[in-house]
Structure 1
Amino acid sequence: MVITMLPAGPHVLKVYSEQIIGAAPSSALLLDCSTIDVETARKVAGLAKAAGYAFADAPVSGGTAAADAGTLAFMVGCDEGDFARVEAALAPMSRITIRAGDHGAGQAAKICNNMLLGISMLGTCEAIALAEKLGLDPERFFEIASKSSGQCWSVSSYYPWPGPVPTAPSNRDYQGGFATAMMLKDLKLAQDAAAKSGASTPLGAQAEAMYALFDGLGHGGRDFSAMLQMLRGQLSTLETK
């Protein structure tokens, strides 16, 4: 078995075409857990399949905490007959492994999921900033939003205000977690995919612009929930990372 996690599509294509395909035993299961564009994932799958390999694109969700706990979620694109083998290989690291469809579908699922996450985090941050301006304690707002129609993962599991969710990066000065620069990368992938497919994603485009601004101000290494401090006008509380 070969498992890879690389920064971008060109790296994946280069590593598989020059270092793995033809070098690994033909019986090896090839799993790419990078987050890349759908087209490159399908191209690499085609090269691997032509050489006799079982291949899957299997991007991952869950962040550093889930990685440490072995509770990651994998979104898999592969031939249906290969999925049981893929699922077994990922089981030690996985809380859930879902076959999204054929080759490239794992990347499509990851791109769409992270666009949704990026948008929902911005909405959460905006709501907290407004609540504060209106004199509502952000911790009390958590009690309300987490139990009403505003409930979402960004509120209940990753609240960007310190206190209510002890494991959230907001309690560690927004260190660790999911870096703003990584969210920006995924949103760029989503916008590229939207342009190529003709999909309308105006909120995704706005989210990309917001995270690009935050990254450009020197906060790309901060967890993406630190966007709250920019919306509060409190960037001075963050050291440039």
Structure 2
Amino acid sequence: MSIIAFIGLGRMGAPMAAHLVAAGHTVRGVEINPAAAAAAAERGVHIVPSAAEALRGADACLTSLPKPEHVRAAYGGDDGILAHAASATLLMDTSTVDVETSRWCHTQAEERGLSFVDAPISGGTAGAEAHTLTFMLGGRDDAVDRAREVVAPMAGNVIACGEAGAGIAAKLVNNMMLFIGVMAVSEGSQLAEQLGLDPKVFWDVARVSSGDSWPLRTWYPVPGVLERSAADNNFDATFSVDLARKDCGLAVHAGDVTGVHLPAARLALSQLDDLIAEGLGAKDCTLVAKLASPDGTLRGYDPALDRTLEGTRS
């Protein structure tokens, strides 16, 4: 089986790497958070101190990092991935970044005779654990074919989206639509509550009617409707406001670059900014439902139980 370097073992990277281990691969991981590194090690990942060591003899290298600047730092510089990858090592970035950063990775890799595929993912932490993620691949046909085999143990769907940057472009558009959908479900859930509808009954109606959507079926922001929902856990993050804001902001930036008008996306972005201004960036993005509530309170959310606010209390 293959040797795979995995850079970034957070809430997405750790279960993804664990599925590669379960498939029989040797996975060498790099993670700066000690607790996250220890958790990944418990799942069979060999933790090493540097990208250079992780890449030694590696057949493939995957990165799963929070922001574009982290991706550029991981790939660039004397200690970066590009400096230590062998010509036979396939490089893949699963992070959600701007199109410019993804194309930079492709260009930098090509200049060094390396193969790079942008390979962003959809499905969230639940999909990462269940190895049902959708991978959106962009790059040369031969590299994409190799990437299909590498990601198979983590994936429910693998879609070749086109040339360099096509995968990340598809991801940004998809996530923009997701956050607009979250806003619709948030407003609908609160209006249904105020009209006296039983939340589970209304959810059953919407799920088989024209109001159906992925965020309705997966992230409905009312407690007692879905198993393991953020609404049943004081809106602790499955997909944080901070990360949602980053992804939505990247999509709006793409709209600025291309001249596409995105009024709904801008409204979703402004609502995420409102939550961040309240100190709620670490909470789940479906907490935007409280912005639709008549008095700003939300059933299922108790600020007094919110550990993320402890540091902001006077």
Q: What is the TM-score normalised by the length of structure 1?
A: 0.95
Matched residue of 1:30: which SS?
strand
Q: Look up the SS of the partner of 2:83 in the other structure.
A: coil
Partner of 1:122: 183
Q: Which residue, 234, 238, 241 being the options, matches 2:297?
A: 234
Is the CA contact (8 Å cut-off) linking 2:66 and 2:95 kept in structure 1? yes
1:139 to 177, 193, 200: 200
Matched, 1:90 2:151: yes
Name the SS of the counterpart of 1:192 in structure 2: helix
Deviating more after overlay: 108-117 vs 16-25: 16-25
CA contact (8 A) 1:70 1:93 kept: yes
Q: Displacement of 1:240 after TM fit?
A: 6.1
**Counterpart for residue 4 of structure 1:** 63
Match of 2:139 in 1: 78
The corresponding residue for 2:124 is 63
The answer to whether the 8 Å contact 2:199/2:225 transfers is no
Q: Which amino acid aligns with 2:108?
A: L
Tell me how far 1:229 sits from its aligned partner. Answer: 2.6
Q: CA deviation at 1:17?
A: 2.4
The one-letter code of the counterpart of 1:89 is V
Report deviation, 1:24.
Answer: 1.3
| Counterpart Cα distance in 2 of 1:17 and 1:59 | 19
Shift of 1:45: 0.3
Alignment match of 1:178 (pick from 229, 235, 239): 239
Match 2:101 to one of 24, 37, 40? 40
Instruction: Please report the RMSD computed on the Cα atoms of aligned residues, expressed in angstroms.
Output: 1.5
Give the Å deviation of 1:49.
Answer: 1.3
Q: Structure 1: where are the runs of 5+ without partners? A: none
Report the alpha carbon displacement of residue 176 of structure 1 after superposing the two structures with TM. 3.3
Aligned equivalents of 1:40, 1:188: Cα separation in 2? 14
Higher-RCO chain (CA-CA 8 Å, sequence separation at least 6): 1
Q: 1:161 aligns with which of 198, 208, 222?
A: 222
What stretches of structure 1 move > 4 A for 4+ residues in a row?
none
Taking the aligned partners of 1:182 and 1:9, their CA distance within structure 2 comes to 12
Give the greater-gyration-radius structure (CA): 2
State how far apart, in whole Å, the 2-side matches of 1:164 and 1:113 are.
25
Partner of 2:89: 28
5+ long unaligned stretches in structure 2: 1-59, 309-314
Which of 112, 137, 161 is residue 100 of structure 1 equivalent to? 161
Cα distance, 1:157 vs structure 2:
2.1
| Contact 2:235-2:284 at 8 Å conserved across structures | yes
Distance in 2 of aligned mates of 1:181 and 1:201: 20
3-state SS of the aligned residue for 2:84?
coil
CA deviations 1:174-228 (Å, max 9, x no partner) are 2231011110000110111100110111100111001110121111111111222
Matches of 2:209 and 2:265 in 1, distance apart? 25
Q: 1:102, 1:120 → 2: CA distance?
A: 28
Q: Which has the higher helix share?
A: 1
Q: For residues 104-150 of structure 1, what are the alpha-carbon distances to aligned partners after superposition, in whole Å with 9 as ceiling and x for unaligned?
A: 11111111111101010110110111111222222221111111110
Alpha-carbon distance in structure 2 between the residues aligned to 1:67 and 1:101: 24
SS in 1 for 2:255: helix
% identical equivalent positions: 36
Task: Compute the TM-score of the two structures, normalised by the length of structure 2.
Answer: 0.74
